[in-house]
Amino acid sequence: MSKVLLLVLVVFYSGFPSKGISSVSTRPRAVNIGAILSFNSRIGRVAKVAIQAAVDDVNSDATILNGTKLKISMLDTKLSTGFLGIIDSFLLMERETVAIIGPQYSVMAHVISHIANEMQVPLLSFAATDPTLTSLQFPYFVRTTQSDLYQMAAVAEIADHFQWRDVIALYVDDDHGRNGIAALGDKLAEKRCKISYKVPFKPDNITLEETNSALIKVALMESKVIIIHMYTSCGLEVLHAAQTLGMMGSGYVWIATDWLSTALDSDPSLSTSPTMNDIQGVITLRMHTPESDMKRKFISRWDKLSRKENSNEDPFGLYIFGFYAYDTVWVLASALDSFFKDGGTLSFSNDSSLNMLRRDTLNLDTMRVFVNGGMLLQKVLEVNRTGLAGEMVFNPDGNLVHPSYEIINVIGTGIRRIGYWSEPSGLHTGEHPNHYNSSDGLYGVIWPDQMVFSSNGRTLRIGVPLRISYREFVSRIEGTEMFGGYCIDVFTAALNLLPYPVPYKFIPFGDAKTNPLNSHLLHMITIGAFDAVVGDITITTNRTKIVDFTQPYIESGLVVVAPIKKLKSSAWAFLSPFSPMMWFVTGMFFLVVGAVVWILERRINDDFRGPARRQFVTIIWFSFSTLFFAQREKTVSTLGRLVLIIWLFVVLILNSSYIASLTSILTVEQLSSPVKGIESLVISNDRIGFLRGSFAESYLTEELNIHRSRLVPLNSPSEYEKALKDGPANGGVTAIID
């Protein structure tokens, strides 16, 4: 069947005969690769520049192909999705091409994949996202971008997140649109959702009357959740018609697949055009590409590269498919390098079946079969590298692993990321797309006709203290009017959770020489100078009477900071566990126990008899040897044994206590301070320090009745250190309340 299809497709094609088998040495000077693009399309313009830049980079890198150069032939299909693409693929097959990059359209990829299978030439597409393009039907097709199968899984999970059970699908009626919506239906079914109504649109030349007629039918449906899966041009026309019909208002939900984010990224002027009014509140998806130095460097080169390609035009925007097109060339180069290292050769032969179909008007024998195409295909699938778009690693089906998407909400003249979707994590709001907690969900979404701002339409004035200490909480970024720190991060994160945008402006408060008083900062709210304040401000009873506070996000409290004295260990540290009195009492007990045992044993036990001197030594030796349970003398009397058992138990306790105390002394730093707590400070007359601007001053004077003359304001940890080192005798402080 495939042979007949191939014959039908080439009825207008003619070439020049070439017979036999050709073979090139293992490391040829050049390798022919092809690219099939539509130069005048959004994707084609960007891909052409990116592919040429990648070829130049590969050829200038001697480490990748060891002197072999890539020779690329880029052919223009003139926006055609069929016939011209077929002719271009035939032309490439004549040139002993080892691989083809493209095409960008899924419709054309279906057709050319048949030819690639017959000629055994890998077809690497950076933009054909149709999920039915699989290795089962097209073994030589490799997708170097993300499949719509995963994008539709993300859309289905969004529907499930908001508990929508019925959706309406608008799509372009070709392989790309039909197969994408079919995949969406399968993914929705897994979530117990369904597509209640499908509306196909013609791929080209759709009229306003046709669009309005279709949308009016949609407006009559019960479901108001609309998924739109189209190409950029017709998709924007449909949304404009929906806006005209009042279908972008309250009650409607619009979710566009990645065609909308592609339009916004590729055409920066779109954000200031009237088109933005048609897409307010729409949710769209964007393939996620992680930030990297490689990506940033390529972006910085882009203006120069695009001007070089179109010197008479303004540089055009770089977006996701440009990254994938660039990475595709490097994937192919890496595969070719491995191919040559394993002894692969560039051998081509005529297809005998095509020779049998030869007629007077058709010269199909000019088509060349790549003999080792299967080996090169395997090398492509084994590539494992990191490119501009992230990991370029393929699964056995020829799709990229770890697909991930950004979930975007169109707001005003820009976009707002409300979360990520990744496999297998699902929806989440984590910074990293492969976040492994799928229960996070999404940030708040602004639906159509829900653009909510402050009632008076003005920007909120947010006061921020200009601190000179503890800048980890809040600080101004040097040389800018921007602020950072933990408190600022909490504030911006809270705003991201709101279902509407809040315009605001940070206004600094203070002279940047000393810490401003928080009480003065809060007073600025009461007089109307600020609408709100962001900072590490303690919640107190008096302050709650004049302003409202958010929920606390840092545990508050007061601590006493006091100087310490380090106790150094010495050679006599082994005496430290017991006090002198304890040592004396312990020694006396040893002697008393020895004497008692001698009295009980001397009449019946030969070990305790003898001259007076010997008996005295026996008493001393016996009593102290019990410390180590090493006494040699045996006790015979019952009372003697009872006394000895009790004494050995006491010795065990003394021994354990001594060892524990000595270990602590020798291993743990011993610190001491003359300040035992806030009570000792209150009853003393020593000077006390506090952080300028904090509520500690009012607490000490009003709650603890400490006279202000004893209080010393300090501005930073360095002043803390100096004041504590100097001490009250030298103008410092005894302790600091913070």
Return the bridge partners of 34, or none. Answer: 73, 100
Radius of gyration, CA atoms only, the chain: 41
Instruction: Tell me which of 37 and 441 has the higher pLDDT.
Output: 37
DSSP annotation of 394: B
| Closest listed residue to residue 113, CA positions, set 225, 36, 209 | 36
Using the CB atoms, write b or e for 644-667: b if 16+ within 10 Å: beebeeebeebeeebeeebeeeee
| Closest listed residue to residue 327, CA positions, set 141, 126, 123 | 126
Question: Do 410 and 279 touch, CB atoms closer than 8 A?
Answer: yes
Can you tell me the distance from the alpha carbon of 9 to that of 362, in angstroms, rounded to the nearest whole number? 12
Kindly list the domain boundaries of the chain, sorted by start residue: 29-146+296-393, 148-292+403-428, 460-553, 573-671, 678-737
pLDDT in tens, 686-726: 888 888 877 777 778 877 788 888 888 888 788 888 888 88
Percentage of residues of the chain with pLDDT beyond 90:
31
Rounded to the nearest angstrom, the gap between the alpha carbon of residue 141 and the centroid of all alpha carbons in its chain is 31
| Closest listed residue to residue 442, CA positions, set 474, 414, 405 | 405
Residue carrying structure tokens 């016939």: 83
Identify the burial level of 711 via C-beta atoms within 10 angstroms of its C-beta, where 0-12 means exposed, 13-18 middle and 19 or more buried. Answer: middle
pLDDT band for 644, please (50, 70, 90 cuts).
confident
Helices 612-625, 580-601: crossing angle, 10 deg rounding: 130
Question: Do 407 and 241 touch, CB atoms closer than 8 A?
Answer: no
DSSP annotation of 608: G
Residue carrying structure tokens 């920066």: 268
Q: Is the dihedral of CA 294, 297, 299, 305 positive or negative?
A: negative
* Average pLDDT over the chain, rounded to an integer: 82
For residue 60, is it left (φ>0), alpha (ψ between -120 and 50) or beta? alpha
Domain 460-553 has CATH 3.40.190.10: yes
Other Cβ atoms within 10 Å of 75 Cβ, number: 20
In sequence order, what E strands does 483-537 have? 483-484, 504-509, 532-533
In sequence order, what E strands does 307-352 have? 346-350
Instruction: Tell me which of 634 and 125 has the higher pLDDT.
Output: 125
Helices 293-309, 320-341: crossing angle, 10 deg rounding: 100
Q: Which helix (H) or strand (E) holds 180?
A: helix 175-190
Give the highest mean pLDDT range of 163-172, 437-446, 598-607, 680-689.
163-172
Q: What is the mean pLDDT of residues 604-617?
A: 71
| Closest listed residue to residue 176, CA positions, set 132, 242, 142 | 132
Domains 29-146+296-393 and 148-292+403-428 share a fold: yes
Assess whether pLDDT exceeds 70 at residue 4: no
The helix, strand and coil proportions of the chain, stated in percent and rounded to the nearest 5, come to 45, 20, 40
Residue 334 pLDDT:
95
Assess whether pLDDT exceeds 90 at residue 414: no
Residue 101 pLDDT:
94
pLDDT in tens, 208-230: 999 999 999 999 998 889 999 99
Using the CB atoms, write b or e for 370-397: b if 16+ within 10 Å: bbbbebbbebbbebeeebbbbebebeee
Phi, psi of 174 (to 5 degrees): -145, -175
Assess whether pLDDT exceeds 70 at residue 17: no
DSSP annotation of 515: P
- DSSP string covering 699-712, please? IIIIIS---GGGEE
pLDDT in tens, 511-544: 878 888 888 888 888 888 899 999 888 888 788 8
Which residue pairs from 543-549 have beta carbons closer than 8 angstroms and sit at least 24 positions apart in sequence? 543/519, 543/695, 546/522, 547/522
| Closest listed residue to residue 605, CA positions, set 637, 560, 583 | 637
| Closest listed residue to residue 297, CA positions, set 315, 323, 329, 264 | 323
Return the amino acid letter for 28.
Answer: P
Assess whether pLDDT exceeds 90 at residue 178: yes
pLDDT band for 167, please (50, 70, 90 cuts).
very high
Can you tell me the distance from the alpha carbon of 30 to that of 206, in angstroms, rounded to the nearest whole number? 46
Residue 286 pLDDT:
95
Assess whether pLDDT exceeds 80 at residue 366: no
| Closest listed residue to residue 407, CA positions, set 426, 393, 390 | 426
Distance between start and end Cα atoms, the chain: 84
Per-residue tokens: 102: 């493209």
29-146+296-393 has which fold? Rossmann fold (3.40.50)
CA dist 291 to 295, 389, 433, Å? 7, 9, 12
Respond yes or no on whether the N-terminal peptide bond of residue 103 is cis (omega within 30° of 0): yes
| Closest listed residue to residue 326, CA positions, set 53, 58, 38, 70 | 53
| Closest listed residue to residue 332, CA positions, set 5, 59, 685, 587 | 59
| Closest listed residue to residue 184, CA positions, set 126, 130, 252, 250 | 130
CA dist 73 to 26, 112, 330, 624, Å? 22, 16, 16, 100
CATH dotted code for 148-292+403-428: 3.40.50.2300
Assess whether pLDDT exceeds 60 at residue 670: no
Residue 84 pLDDT:
60
Decide the pairing of beta strands 711-714 and 670-672. unpaired
Residue 182 pLDDT:
96
Instruction: Tell me which of 428 and 78 has the higher pLDDT.
Output: 428
3-state secondary structure at position 497: coil
Can you tell me the distance from the alpha carbon of 46 to that of 57, in angstroms, rounded to the nearest whole number? 17
Instruction: Tell me which of 170 and 701 has the higher pLDDT.
Output: 170
Can you tell me the distance from the alpha carbon of 558 to that of 518, in angstroms, rounded to the nearest whole number? 16
